[in-house]
Amino acid sequence: MADATEASAVPARGMSRAAIFVAATRGRHGADWTDWASYVYLVFGTLLMFVPVAWLALSSLKTQAGLDQMPPTVLPYEPARAALPGRPGEFPLFRVTKGDHAGQELAEVRRIGLQAQMVDPAAPAAVIRVPVSDREPVMRLHAAWDNYSAVVSRFDFLLYFWNSLFITVVATVITLLFNAMAAFALSKYNFRGRGTVFALILATLMVPPTIILVPNYLIASQLGLVNSLWGVIWPGVATPTGVFLLRQYMLTIPDELLDAARMDNASEWRLFWRIMLPLSAPALAVLAIFSVMWRWNEFLWPLVVLSRSENFTLQLALNSFQGELTTSWNLLLAMTVLTLLPITLIFLVLQRHITQGIASAGVK
């Protein structure tokens, strides 16, 4: 509670100072302690938000052996290996910690129970026996990019990527068009039943999609949409959020603009796509962002509708590999990173527009 009080006092003071003297908190007189508290809070929060993802990304470059390493490392290390003359293959290197050979780096040829048979790479003829507790693995920095190539080659990654991309793009275009048309009518025409339609659409905001999963599946199957990417696209295009958001925005566009165009004998359809849509661009952008986010991450509905592996989206693939790959977190992590990468890249490029857009839409 104390925290809330302090933090909430901050903007009032900050704002008023800012109003009088914009640079005040940027260190002209030195910041006051509430500024420091904010920075500490924000930096801490940022770390909390980013570190798990960043660590995951770094760890996706570890080998399975590197992941099993306790305590975990930040950077991808893997046990070093060495080739031995006269023996095929490579052998893991260990540093001996105790006994006659303490400090030496030896290659382990074989492990039998608690004894390791080791060989000095410099003098490979002699086999040295070392208790396993008296040695530790030599680690070296190594980015295991093969995790990624394994994921891409072993699991039709490109196909899943294409499916996800197709659904996301097509669904977003249709969503924008349909929702904008509905919002246009709801905001600019006065027709009987308008209130009812609007209320009905809003009421569905509260229906969790999980709840209507079964009947939805039934309907989709009657329409022949099962096992087709369109079966994922269609049910979600009539978003209540989108209609609401666009309607609220379109209400702020003055009717005079439309009336002027009507004077020039433009059709209503023309008014819609030449005037309303371009003027609603900010709200449309927000909806587009939402739609991309929803579609790219959609999980439960595709899980039910798409049962053929050639139709899988990235999220479905990730989920099914989660079951199959419990023994290889290295591949699972690589797959996870590949799944979150596209949306992260979009975010990096459009970050400012996205955050500002959503913020402004939320208030309206």
Residue ranges in 227-256 that form contacts with another protein under rule CB under 8 A: 227, 234-238, 243
Q: End-to-end CA distance of the chain, in Å?
A: 30
Question: 104 vs 248, which CB is nearer to another protein?
Answer: 248
Q: Find the part of the chain contacting another protein (CB under 8 A) among 93-101, 119-127, 137-145, 263-271.
A: 263-271
Q: Find the part of the chain contacting another protein (CB under 8 A) among 21-29, 88-96, 98-106, 118-126.
A: 21-29
Applying CB under 8 A, does 265 fall inside the site for another protein?
Answer: no
Strand pairing report for 90-96 and 77-79: unpaired
Applying CB under 8 A, does 272 fall inside the site for another protein?
Answer: yes
Bridge partners (DSSP) of residue 130 are 116
d(CA 13, CA 185): 45
Closest contact distance (angstroms) between CB of 94 and another protein is: 16
Applying CB under 8 A, does 153 fall inside the site for another protein?
Answer: no
Question: 260 vs 359, which CB is nearer to another protein?
Answer: 359
Q: Among residues 15, 127, 141, 257, which is the contact residue for another protein, using CB under 8 A?
A: 15
Q: Among residues 151, 171, 332, 334, which is the contact residue for another protein, using CB under 8 A?
A: 332
Name residue 362's amino acid.
G
Q: Are 52 and 333 contacting, i.e. CB atoms less than 8 angstroms apart?
A: no
- CB neighbour list of residue 77: distance below 8 Å, 6 or more residues apart: 62, 66, 69, 139, 140, 141, 142
Tokens of 312: 């899988």
Binding to another protein in span 39-98, by CB under 8 A:
39, 41-42, 45-46, 48-50, 52-53, 55-56, 59, 68, 70-72
Applying CB under 8 A, does 33 fall inside the site for another protein?
Answer: no
d(CA 294, CA 313): 13
- What torsion, rounded to 10 degrees, do the Cα atoms 273, 288, 351, 50 define? 180
The beta strand positions in 196-320, using DSSP E, are: none
Q: Among residues 139, 232, 318, 331, which is the contact residue for another protein, using CB under 8 A?
A: 318
Q: Find the part of the chain contacting another protein (CB under 8 A) among 78-86, 144-152, 174-182, 256-264.
A: 174-182
